[in-house]
Amino acid sequence: MDEKTLIAKRVALELMDGDLVNLGIGLPTLVARYVPPGRHVFFQSENGIVGMSGPITGAENHDLTDAGGSPISALPGAASFDSAFSFGLIRGGHLDVTVLGGLQVDREGRLANWMVPGKMVPGMGGAMDLVTGARRVIVAMQHSAKGEAKIVERCVLPLTSVRRVDLVVTDLAVIEPTDAGLVLKETAPGVTVEQVIANTGCELIVAPDLRSMPIEG
Amino acid sequence: MKNKLISLEDAVARIPDGASLLIGGFMAVGGPNRLVDELIRQGKRDLTIIANDTARPNNGLGKLVVEKLVRRVVTSHIGLNPETQKQMIAGAIEVELVPQGTLAERIRAGGVGLGGVLTATGVGTIVEEGKRTVEIDGVTYLLEMPIKADFALVAAKQADLYGNLTYALTARNFNPLMAMAGATVIAEAEDILPVGCIPPDAVMTPSVLVDYIVAATPR
């Protein structure tokens, strides 16, 4: 299993029956494929729909895309609305879970994921509203990039929000930010605690009930 | 009552150089793409664009940036249009990045006569810089100001001859918000219908907001 699939499968276990969930573009989009059987999850796309499918090919409708512009379909029971309503769902506490990618997460559990000054300024899109307003924020990202830790003492990149995220899922570990700091809850199959610590740029508290990710190879 | 259905050329001729334009659409889905092409054909310049994103270089309002007709952009995302980023870094275009939900509410506030919006989005980030904060029940909010513009260019699925509009699926996005916040509203519609064909409950933008209607496809 490749790293992205592992991350997506682990995140999917966090989604509960009946949840309203927003998946960011890129890696988070994969999560929709692995929702555990028996759980019905409503996926929102912030450009104005609840009840979207994943990306489709064939039968494209030019009036129906996800937030990345990829064609989707509306599942039976879907609802569409304008952008103010869509962000009302997000900001108003109606969104159960948002899953976003990350550039950095710091020891206080704060996320930076929208710009690298001088290099990449795509804009925040909906990310700031999602992290500020969702009931639960899950960051899905590689543990490190080009050999550099993405989990750091303090974000040097501009923050997306000062709100503490709820869970960080990487190819090496599951980490929960808490008042006391970052708690290492799970390691990926075949990964040791030492490997996780060596690839992390700040202190981790190893949970007493540390376990291996409940993912079948 | 005046006839609101006019030619594409006439509609765009009413827009002067230097105008501020609210432009509907999300990655050009639900964008008034024929009006945008006509802005380019008529060579309108020094435009201020308020839109969710700057699309792609070869798509929708992204082309306005490529043609260097834009002086200032207020938007939430420019990541898929490298030309916007290039011109921004070169100082040729001014870009104000606004969180998407905040952008929607600022436009809504402009259209419905509110003096601003309080939102927790952006607190403690660089979005807060230069803004007033207000504390209510222990929560800190940013005061975000309303947005209005000289024109709103919107794309509809259907228009009747009074100017009542409907939108389809995710092509609705910013269009109904913008139709309230433009001093002059030009709607580009896929289907143009006699009055009475759109049931009242189906109307998403009431005709009283719409000044001109153009056909989305040449006729």
Condensed to tens digits (0 to 9), the pLDDT of residues B87-137 reads 999 999 999 999 999 999 999 999 999 999 999 999 999 999 999 999 999
Closest CA to A7 of A210, A167, A180: A167
Q: How confident is the model at residue B219 (pLDDT cuts 50, 70, 90)?
A: low
B99 CB neighbours in chain A (<8 A) are 124-129
Q: Which of A36-50, A53-67, A200-214, B67-81 has the lowest mean pLDDT?
A: A53-67
Q: Tens of pLDDT along A74-84?
A: 999 999 999 99
Domain that holds residue B164: 5-114+146-214
- Whether B139 is in a domain gets the answer no
Q: What tokens appear for B173 in the block?
A: 């996005």
Residue type, B132: R
- Whether B86 is in a domain gets the answer yes
In the numeric block, the tokens 């974000």 are attached to: A155
Q: What predicted TM-score, i.e. pTM, was given to this entire model?
A: 0.97
In the set A3, A14, A46, A186, the catalytic residue is: A46
**DSSP-derived 3-state class of residue A94:** coil
- Which ranges constitute the DSSP H helices of B21-127? 33-41, 62-66, 82-89, 100-112
Q: What tokens appear for A123 in the block?
A: 């804009």
Residue pair A144/A115 in contact (Cβ under 8 Å)? The answer is no
The number of domains in chain B is: 1
Decide the pairing of beta strands A111-112 and B117-119.
unpaired
- Whether B134 is in a domain gets the answer no
CB contact under 8 A, A126 and B101: yes
CB contact under 8 A, A64 and B76: no
Distance (Å) from the alpha carbon of B123 to chain A's nearest alpha carbon: 7
A104 touches chain B (CB under 8 A): no
- Whether B61 is in a domain gets the answer yes
How far apart (Å, rounded) are the C-alpha atoms in residues A65 and A69? 5
List the 28-87 stretch of A: residues with Cβ below 8 A of B: 45-49, 61-65, 67-69, 74, 80-84, 86-87
List the 129-168 stretch of B: residues with Cβ below 8 A of A: 157, 167-168
Share of chain B above pLDDT 70, in %: 100
- Whether B64 is in a domain gets the answer yes
A101 touches chain B (CB under 8 A): no
Q: What tokens appear for B24 in the block?
A: 């509907």
Q: What is the mean pLDDT of chain A?
A: 96
The count of residues in chain A is 217
A81 CB neighbours in chain B (<8 A) are 172
B217: pLDDT strictly greater than 90: no
CB contact under 8 A, A132 and B176: no
Provide the pLDDT for residue A56: 85
Distance (Å) from the alpha carbon of A72 to chain B's nearest alpha carbon: 10
> How many helices and strands (H and E) does chain B possess?
6, 11
Distance (Å) from the alpha carbon of A63 to chain B's nearest alpha carbon: 5
- Whether B182 is in a domain gets the answer yes
B123 touches chain A (CB under 8 A): yes
B87 CB neighbours in chain A (<8 A) are none
**DSSP-derived 3-state class of residue A71:** strand
Cα atoms in the Cβ-side hemisphere of radius 13 Å centred on B162:
14
Winning range, highest mean pLDDT, from A58-67, A112-121, B150-159: B150-159
Provide the pLDDT for residue A217: 61
- Which ranges constitute the DSSP H helices of A83-216? 83-91, 127-133, 193-198
Angle at the Cα of A91 (from B54 to A173), degrees rounded to 5? Answer: 85
A26: pLDDT strictly greater than 90: no
- Whether B42 is in a domain gets the answer yes
Q: Is A60 a residue of the active site? A: no
Q: How confident is the model at residue B76 (pLDDT cuts 50, 70, 90)?
A: very high
Q: How confident is the model at residue B203 (pLDDT cuts 50, 70, 90)?
A: very high
ipTM at complex level: 0.96
Pick the residue of B27, B107, B170 with the most A CBs within 10 A to test the interface with A by mutation: B170
Q: Tens of pLDDT along A96-140?
A: 999 999 999 999 999 999 999 888 889 999 999 999 999 999 999
Q: Tens of pLDDT along B39-58?
A: 999 999 999 999 999 999 99
How far apart (Å, rounded) are the C-alpha atoms in residues B163 and B5? 9
Closest CA to B103 of B128, B123, B121: B121
CATH at B15? 3.40.1080.10
Provide the pLDDT for residue A120: 84
- Whether B96 is in a domain gets the answer yes
CB contact under 8 A, B121 and A91: yes
Provide the pLDDT for residue A59: 85
- Dihedral sign of CA atoms B169, B214, A87, A143 in order: positive
